[in-house]
Amino acid sequence: MVTGRLIGIARRRRSRAPMEDMRSVTVTAAAGVQGDFRGAVRPGRAPRRQISLMEIESWEAALDELNVSDLFGERPSWHSRRANLLVEGLRFPRQAGYVVAIGPTLRIGITMECDPCSRMENVVPGLEGALMPDWRGGVLGTVLEDGAIAVGDEIRIER
């Protein structure tokens, strides 16, 4: 089984709010990432965008494609992508329907690709387009089984 590692956790309390970096968090089917505005399930709605995950390798590839320097802190943080979870060493399948397991209990059902929005152009000109190919913008999902997670946890793909 191929495994990776959770290297970042972030949330935002409301739309367009700054991302808050976290070391650990509880993630639930009712609320998504605790304290994140996007995770709460509205009555009568089936969530498809409850939680977002991104590979650091895809973020770096998009920045490399644009020749964005990492000298003197010029390279934008992954928080600019506004994803909740950042993983390393694991390539997500480029399709919906699989399950991502993080730590001992958290299970996330992947529902779709996370298409980059035009706001990425404010981070780096051309970034929206650089994140488009090969699902570089990450994946979206819903929480299937609650769990507490922390930076450093193992992440794996389950069917």
Mean residue pLDDT of the chain comes to 92
Q: Kindly list the strands in the beta sheet with 32-33, ordered across the sheet, starting from the edge strand earlier in the chain.
A: 32-33, 24-28, 147-150
Does residue 104 register a pLDDT over 70? yes
Q: Are 104 and 149 spatial neighbours (Cβ–Cβ below 8 Å)?
A: no
What band does 71 get if pLDDT is binned at 50, 70 and 90?
Answer: low
pLDDT at 72: 61
Share of the chain above pLDDT 90, in %: 81
Integer Rg of the chain from CA: 15
Q: Where along the chain do its domains lie?
A: 3-158
Confidence of residue 74 (pLDDT cuts 50, 70, 90): confident
> For residue 135, what pLDDT band results from cuts at 50, 70 and 90?
very high
Q: What is the pLDDT of residues 119-131, one digit of tens each?
A: 899 999 999 999 9
> What is the tens place of the pLDDT at every residue in 7-48?
999 999 988 899 999 999 999 999 999 999 887 777 777 677
pLDDT of 73 above 80: no
Nearest 5°: phi and psi at 138? 105, -165
Q: Dihedral, CA atoms, 76, 81, 83, 87, nearest 10 degrees?
A: -50
- pTM for the full model? 0.93
**Is the pLDDT reported for residue 132 higher than 90?**
yes
Please write the tens of the pLDDT for every residue from 87-96. Answer: 999 999 999 9
For position 2, what pLDDT does the model report? Answer: 79
Fold of the domain built from segment(s) 3-158: M1 Pyruvate Kinase; Domain 3 (2.40.33)
Could you tell me which residues come within 8 angstroms of residue 85 by beta carbon, excluding any fewer than 6 positions away?
6, 8, 9, 10, 33, 51, 52, 53, 54, 102, 149
